[in-house]
Chains A and B, each alone.
Chain A
């Protein structure tokens, strides 16, 4: 099973700041890394797939990078609606696995 480790667990930032979230895999997932956003009381929302492809309707301030074992989700300038929990997930092999999440909170 591929273990995904997200860091930091919590990121305290102000609107307008840049957010950098990390996801590290215990073995290579190639580019098969997905990012989701989840707000309180809502289902997850697909943001980025296959490391850097933005899903339909996702603003350009969200970008993904990385390959192999190290991945980054960057939010270039935080807006109020971006404060949420972010999860990475690998689809390289079964079982599918998720990271533990990074909470982006308002400072």
Chain B
């Protein structure tokens, strides 16, 4: 059974940082591209970042480029999102999501975690 469990969310001050984690199980993590998608409560979905299975391919949304960094540790089956220089508009639930296909970096998500809430406020 595929499972994605996020953690690391919480309250951060504007300009602060948080490191989000997503522990994966039930599939061959190192072969799967992964992504972060966020959602302001009550609003729509916004793609944040994606990373290939090897970590060599990475994409970011313009809204987070230069402030957020996606990475992965395939030995730990864990995906990360380092969020720096946080702004109020980064407040959202952050989901990690698994790509349907092995060995391809694309945006087609067949499993999602339960999300972790990031609140940026002073």
Contact = CB atoms under 8 A, between A and B. Distances in A.
A46 B62 contact: no
A91 interface: yes
Nearest to A56: B110
Interface stretch (B17-25, B70-78, B112-120): B112-120
B47 A49 contact: no
Interface in B44-96: 44-47, 50, 59, 61-62, 95
Given A91-B106, A91-B107, A44 B61 contact: no
A97 B44 contact: no
A91 B59 contact: no
B23 to A, nearest CB: 15
Contacts of B61: 95
A91 to B, nearest CB: 4
Nearest to A87: B45
A43 B62 contact: no
B47 A96 contact: yes
Nearest to A94: B59
Given A89-B107, A91-B108, A95-B62, A101 B100 contact: no
B45 A89 contact: yes
A98 B112 contact: no
A95 B110 contact: no
A46 B45 contact: no
B109 interface: yes
Contacts of B46: 98
**A38, A43, A94: residue with the most chain B Cβ atoms closer than 10 Å:** A43
A99 B106 CA distance: 17
Contact of A98 (B35, B47, B114): B47
A64 B59 CA distance: 28
13 contacts: A34-B107, A43-B115, A46-B100, A46-B108, A56-B110, A87-B45, A89-B107, A94-B107, A95-B59, A96-B47, A96-B107, A98-B47, A101-B45
